[in-house]
Amino acid sequence: MGRTVKRPDVRKQELLDIGFPLYMEYGSNGLNVKEIAAKANVSVGLFYYYFKSKEDYIAQLLDSYIGNHVSTVQTLLEDTSLSPAEKIKSTLDVLWLHAKNTDAQKTDAAFRTEQHYAMTNTLLMELKPSVQRVIEAGMADGTFRKGNPSLVSGYILYGVSSVLDSEQSIRQISYGELQDLVWSALK
C-alpha cells in the first residue's frame, strides 16, 4: 500500500497523536521512533524531518498535550452556561484527569526539563486572566468571598499545578483534599 500525502501540519500532528499513547504506556525510554513511523506509514527519515530528535519529539508531544488541555480549560472558563463555581470545578476535573493520565511519567526526564517547566508556566499565565475573571464574577454574585482575584487565581493555578506536577504519585493525593484546598482559597 502506498503512502498517503498529507499537509505537513496534519502529518506532524498525526505523528504526535500516534506517539502519545505509546509515551504514556512506555515512557521516553520505551518510545520507539520506528514504531511511530510504521504506525503512520511513513519513513523514519520523514519523522526526523518534523522532529530534530526523539527528545525534541517528546518535548513537542508534551507541549501539544498540555496545549490541548489549556484549550479545553479555556472553553470551560468561558462557557456562559456554567456558574463560577461550576467553571472552577470543571477546570479542576480537567487538571485532575491530566494528572491521572500523566502520573506514571512524572518522574520521566521529559517532565523534569527546564523547557517543560517554562511551557507549564506560560500555559498557566495564559489561563490566569480567565480564572481571574471567573473569580471576579463569583465575587460579584456572592459565590466567592476572598479579596484579591489576581492573587487568588495565581495561588490556585500555581498551587494546583505544583501539587499535581510534583514527583508524588497522584494515587497519594485525594481529589477531595485538592478541591478543599481550592475552595478554601475562594470561600
Distance CA 135, CA 133 (A): 5
The pLDDT assigned to 50 comes to 96
Determine the average pLDDT of the residues in 126-149: 93
Distance CA 138, CA 157 (A): 16
pLDDT, greater one: 178 or 34: 34
* Confidence bin at 41 (pLDDT 50/70/90): very high
The pLDDT assigned to 46 comes to 94
CA 155 to chain centre: 18
Q: Model's pTM, two decimal places?
A: 0.72
Convert 95-128 to b/e letters by CB count within 10 Å (16 or more is b): bbebbeebbebbebebbeeeebeebbeebbeebb
- Cβ proximity of 78 and 130 under 8 Å: yes
| Domain ranges, ordered by start, for the chain | 1-51, 56-186
pLDDT, greater one: 173 or 182: 182
Strands, E assignment, the chain: none
Residue 33 CB neighbours (<10 A): 16
* Fold observed for domain 1-51: Arc Repressor Mutant, subunit A (1.10.10)
In CATH, what class is 56-186?
A: mainly alpha
* 184: its cell numbers: 478554601
- Cβ proximity of 47 and 15 under 8 Å: yes
* Confidence bin at 129 (pLDDT 50/70/90): very high
Of the listed ranges 79-83, 92-96, 119-123, the one predicted with least confidence: 119-123
Sign (positive/negative) of CA torsion 113, 114, 117, 120? Answer: negative
Is pLDDT above 60 for 99?
yes
Distance CA 50, CA 83 (A): 42
Is pLDDT above 90 for 69?
no
**Average pLDDT of every residue of the chain:** 86
Is pLDDT above 70 for 52?
yes
Residue 186 CB neighbours (<10 A): 21
Is pLDDT above 80 for 7?
yes
